[in-house]
Amino acid sequence: MSSIADCSISMLSNASDDPIFKATMKRNKKRHELRVSKADLLAGDGHNWRKYGQKEILGAKHRRAYYRCTHRNSQGCKAVKQVQGTDEDPTFFNIVYIGEHTSAQGQRAPGQAATDAQAPEYKYNANPGASSLLQSQSSSLTVEPEQQLQGWDAPAPFCFSSTPAMVSGCLVLESSPFSAPSRSKNWGVSSATSDSNHVASFPPFEVAGDDAFFRFDEADDYGFLDDLDSTSDVFSFLE
């Protein structure tokens, strides 16, 4: 069962003084860091990723998995994603997006409105009332975990919560959290406290009004994740 609190996302600190961050920035131009729940991670972010590495990180409890765009070879897409379980809360993951998607394919679920394949965005609806309605619709919106793990081509139901117990809205990734050149530079990141789960600002994300939509995944308390070990899922690094 996925509670509202489970469906949360928060920006992490850029930690400009963090040596790891610095090292990353030396090699990469753009770095967007998110914190998502297991359900959100399973739901995918609208892109097709291919895992190319996994590594133990010093001082971290969980291994870090490295993904790059499936269209890296075919379209030369340089987008890279890093996924790592958080130390303080095993149900949450730090996702770091590096680079921009240059591929036009694999960013959206079929049938999803494509306003601009090169400038995807999150939409954020601050209307809490909408969550209950959408929760009732979750059964029809939930995507099979296996499907998500194989394709990662469905919109990500990233959700906001200012505290673990309170939801203020839900982010829906229409295609990608990065690759919007005109907005990426505005990614203001407020630091996340060690107790995590606090929402920071998402400048590149559009606070949508009526056209925003929510989605809650029913993950049965993420129990299905435990069953994914045998399917070479993306969470194997948590073992």
Closest approach, Cβ 24 to DNA, in A, equals 4
The residue among 48 and 91 lying less far from DNA, judged by its C-beta, is: 48
DSSP state of 237: G
| Interaction pattern, residues 10-29, with DNA; x per rule: CB under 7 A | ---------xx-xxx-xxx-
Q: How many residues sit in the footprint of DNA (CB under 7 A)?
A: 37
Closest approach, Cβ 191 to DNA, in A, equals 18
11 in helix, strand or coil?
strand
Residues 54, 102, 105, 127: which binds DNA (CB under 7 A)?
54
Residue 53 near DNA by CB under 7 A: yes
* DSSP annotation string for 161-211: -SBTTB--EEEEESS-SS--HHHHTT---PPPPTT-------TTSB--STT
Spatial distance between the Cα atoms of 58 and 56, rounded to a whole number of angstroms: 7
* Exposed / middle / buried, residue 194 (Cβ in 10 Å: 0-12, 13-18, 19+): exposed
The residue among 8 and 48 lying less far from DNA, judged by its C-beta, is: 48
Cα distances (angstroms) measured from residue 198 to each of 12, 54, 160, 202: 9, 27, 9, 12
Residues 29, 57, 88, 114: which binds DNA (CB under 7 A)?
57
Phi-psi region of 177 (alpha: psi -120 to 50; beta: other; left: phi over 0): alpha
Residues 7, 80, 171, 238: which binds DNA (CB under 7 A)?
80
Q: Please give the helix or strand (H or E) that residue 226 lies within, else none.
A: helix 223-226
Indicate the length of the chain as a whole number.
239
Closest approach, Cβ 236 to DNA, in A, equals 3
Closest approach, Cβ 134 to DNA, in A, equals 28
The residue among 85 and 169 lying less far from DNA, judged by its C-beta, is: 85
The residue among 65 and 172 lying less far from DNA, judged by its C-beta, is: 65
CB 86 within 8 A of CB 35: yes
Which among 53-61, 153-161, 189-197, 204-212 is the span making contact with DNA, rule CB under 7 A?
53-61
* DSSP annotation string for 140-154: HH---HHHHHHH--S
Binders in 150-189 for DNA, by CB under 7 A: 150
The residue among 1 and 58 lying less far from DNA, judged by its C-beta, is: 58
38 phi, psi to nearest 5 deg: -60, -45
Binders in 194-233 for DNA, by CB under 7 A: 230-233
**Which residues make up the interface to DNA (CB under 7 A)?**
19-20, 22-24, 26-28, 48-60, 64-66, 68, 70, 80, 82, 98, 149-150, 230-234, 236
